[in-house]
Structure 1
Amino acid sequence: MTDVSSVTELIARVKPSLIFHLAGSFTGLFENDFQVNTLGAKYLFDSILSEKLDTRVVVVGSAAEYGAVLAEDNPIAETFPCRPVSVYGLTKNYQTEMAKYYARTSNIDVVIARVFNLAVPGLSQRLFYGRAEAMIQAYKNKQISKVEFGNLSSERDYIGIEDAATQLIAIAERGTLGEVYNVGSGLPKTMRSLLIEMLSKDGISGDVIVEASSESVGRKGFDVPRIYADISKVASIQNN
C-alpha cells in the first residue's frame, strides 16, 4: 500500500467492484503510519479514478480517531469531534478526512467504518486483547505464575468478529457516500472484566491477575478512561 505503482497495477488488474480497505500501521512512528494509513488510501482512490471504476470502498478507521474523550461524552456518536492522542489515531483520522475529500471532490464511492475494539483471537500483542491472549497462554504453559497488567479499570467497547462483519457488510451495502459509521457493541466493558472472561474460558481464576502501575509494565501515553460507541447510525441501515 505504500508503493503507488503496486496499488495501481493491482486495481487495474482486478477491477474490483467492492474494496474493504483494512490496511493499517500502528508503529507509533509518524512517517511509517502516515505512509500506510493516509497515503495508502490516497493511492487507492487515485488508482480507482485512473481506471474510471465505480468501485465502492469501505475505508476502515478506528475509535482512536476520537482520542481525548471524557466519561460524560459517552456514548460517542460519529459527530463527536476527533481529538486523536496517538500517531495511529492521527493518521487514521487523516485517512478519514482523505476519504471524505475524495467523496466530495471526485465522487469516489467511499464510506467510512470507524471500528472500536475487536475481540478476536490472534491479534497483535500491541493490543490489549492480543497481549492478554499471549499472557494466558504463557500462564497455561507455566512460563509465568501471574498475569500482570497496568490499569484495568478503563472501559472500552469490544465487539466480536461476526457482529463486526455484519455491521461492515451493512455499511458496504447501504452506507451513504462520504459518511462515517461507528462499528462496535454499543456497550462499555472494563478491561478487568474482559480479562476475567478470557481467563474463565480456560478455566482459570481471576485470582491470577496482578494489577500494577501502567509505568511498571511499560505502558505509556494518554489513557482514555471510558469510551464506547453510539451504534444507532449503523443499526438504522442494518434494519432497513
Structure 2
Amino acid sequence: MRVLVTGASGFVGRAVTDVLNSRGFDAIGVSRIERSDPGRAAMRVLSDPGNVAEVRELLSHAQPQIIMHLAGVTSASSNRALYDANVVFAANLMDAALTMTHRPRVLLAGSAAEYGPVPTELLPVREDFACRPNTPYGASKLAQTNHAFMVAERGLSLVVARLFNPIGPGMPKSLALGSFAQQIAQMDARGAVLTTGDLDVVRDFMDVRIAAELLVELALNSTSHAEVVNVCTGHGRRLLELTHKLIEISGVPVRLQRDDARRGNSDVRAFVGDPSKLKSMGLNPDGSDMDAVLKAILQDARDEIRAT
C-alpha cells in the first residue's frame, strides 16, 4: 500500500515513516526542496503547497491509497503565513484528492489547541466539546478541521487526529522538554542553570513512537466517513516533575531558574484529553515509559551537540 506523508521530515513525520517502513508500506514523503538524504521515505518535491496545480500533479504521479497530512507550523511571521501552512495546503491537498479516480483516505494531523481553554471540571476533554481556540495556531488548525468536514460532504473519507503532547528524541527545541534537554546537553560535569518558563502546568504527554503507531492505525482502520479522534492518554503529567526527572537522568547538578519571558503557546494550567473514542476503536494509547523517553531525548540532544 502506498502512503503519502506530508511533513515526513518533521518530528512526528519521522516517527510515522519509521512505523510505515517497519510494516512494509511504500512510504512517500513530501518536501519543499530536493533532499540528498531522503532517509526514512522516498521523497517528492512540492515547491509550492499553495499551487493547486502542483499539488494535483503530485498526487497524480504518486497515486497514494492513503494520505497522512502531518505538515504544519505552530507559529509564523504573520497570520497569513500561518494559515497558508496550516489551512491552504491541507485544502489544496483534499481538493486534489477529490479529483483522483481512486480517492485516497486522508488523515489530517489536528491539535489539542483547537479546543481552547477547557474548564477543569470538563477535563479530560472529549471530541464533542465546543471548540473555542485562544491562539492563532489553534484557530488555524480548527479552520483546517472545518474545511475537512466540508470536503467530506463532497465524498472524501477522512479522519482528523487531534494530537496532544507527543515527546521523544528529535523533538523541536521550541518545545519545553526539547529546550531543556538541549540546555543540559551543553553543560559539563559541573552543571549550570537551566532556564525555564512556568513549569507548574499539566499536559497529556505521550511517547511520539506510540503516537505514530496510533496515527497509522487511524489512517488504515478508521471506518467512519469523517470524524475527529483525540490522540492522547487521558493521564496528565506535571511538567515540573518531568523536568526534575530529566535533570536526575542527566547526572549533572542543575539549578532551575524561571524566566517569565519564556512562554508557551497557551496559558492553560491543565489540559488532558479523553481517549475513550480511541479505545473504542480497539487502539491502546498507554505504554509511554517516561523515564525511557526522557533518557532518549537527552541522549539525542547530546549526540547532536557532539556531531557539531
User: Taking structure 1 as the reference length, what is the TM-score of the superposition?
Assistant: 0.90
Superposed, 1:166-185 pairs within 5 Å as 166-175=213-222, 176-185=224-233
2:280 is aligned to 236
Do the aligned partners of 1:26 and 1:88 also contact (CA within 8 Å) in 2? Answer: yes
Matched residue SS, 2:210: helix
3-state SS of 1:179 partner: strand
Residue matched to 1:52: 101
Task: Give the aligned residue type for 2:276.
Answer: S
Counterparts of 2:189 and 2:122, CA distance in 1: 42
Residue 260 of structure 2 aligns with an amino acid whose one-letter code is S
Distance 2:155 2:176 in 1: 38
SS of the aligned residue for 2:155 comes to coil
1:82 matched to 2:152? The reply is no
* CA gap 1:239/1:39 in 2 versus in 1, 3 angstroms: closer
Q: Which residue of 1 aligns with 2:208?
A: 161
1:71–1:225 Cα contact (<8 Å) kept:
no
Asked which structure has the greater RCO (Cα within 8 Å, sep 6+), the reply is 1
Per-residue deviation, 1:158: 0.5
What per-residue deviation string (whole Å, max 9, x for no partner) do you get for residues 70-124 of structure 1?
2222101111111111111110110111111111x21101111000011122222
CA contact (8 A) 2:87 2:144 kept: yes
Residue type of the partner of 1:60?
Answer: A
3-state SS of 1:208 partner: strand
**Is 1:214–1:220's contact at 8 Å kept on the other side of the alignment?**
no
Q: Is the 8 A contact 1:25 1:32 kept in 2?
A: no
One-letter code aligned to 2:92: Y
Structure with bigger helix share is 1
- Superposition map of 1:32-47 within 5 A: 32-47=81-96
Give 1:221 shift: 6.3
TM-score normalised per structure 2: 0.71
Q: CA deviation at 1:213?
A: 5.0
Q: Does residue 1:209 correspond to 2:256, yes or no?
A: yes
In the alignment, the residues of structure 2 paired with residue 120 and residue 9 of structure 1 have an alpha-carbon distance, to the nearest angstrom, of 34
The alignment status of 1:116 with 2:164, answered yes or no, reads yes
Query: Please, which moves more after superposition, 166-175 or 229-238?
Result: 166-175
Does residue 15 of the first structure (1) align with residue 58 of the second (2)? no
- Counterparts in 2 of 1:3 and 1:150: CA distance versus 1, 3 Å: same
Question: Compared with structure 1, are the counterparts of its residues 221 and 40 closer, same or farther at alpha carbon in structure 2 (3 Å cutoff)?
Answer: closer
Deviations 1:13-49 (A, max 9, x none): 0010011100101224211110111111110011111
Percentage of pairs with the same residue: 31
1:120 and 1:3, CA in 2 relative to 1: closer, same or farther beyond 3 A? farther
The alpha-carbon distance between structure 1 residues 140 and 66, as it changes in their structure 2 partners (threshold 3 A), is farther
Distance 1:166 1:221 in 2: 26
Contact 1:124 1:130 in 2 (8 A): yes
> For residues 185 and 283 of structure 2, what CA distance do their matches in structure 1 show?
39
Residue 138 of structure 1 pairs with residue 183 of structure 2: no
- Structure 1 residue 193 displacement after superposition: 1.1
Q: Per the alignment, do residues 2 and 123 of structure 1 end up closer, same or farther by CA in structure 2, a change over 3 Å counting?
A: farther
Alpha-carbon offset, residue 140 of structure 1: 4.3
2-structure distance, mates of 1:46, 1:221: 30
2:101, 2:282 → 1: CA distance? 30
1:127 aligns with 2:153: no
- Flag structure 2 segments of 5+ consecutive residues without an equivalent: 1-48, 285-308
Where 1:238 maps in the other structure, the secondary structure is coil
Give the match's secondary structure for 1:96: helix
C-alpha root-mean-square deviation of aligned residues, in Å? Answer: 2.0
Matched letter for residue 179 of structure 2: R
Q: Work out the CA distance in 1 between the residues paired with 2:183 and 2:161.
A: 30
Q: 1:179 to 1:136 in 2, by over 3 A?
A: same
Q: How far 1:220 sits from its partner (Å)? A: 6.7
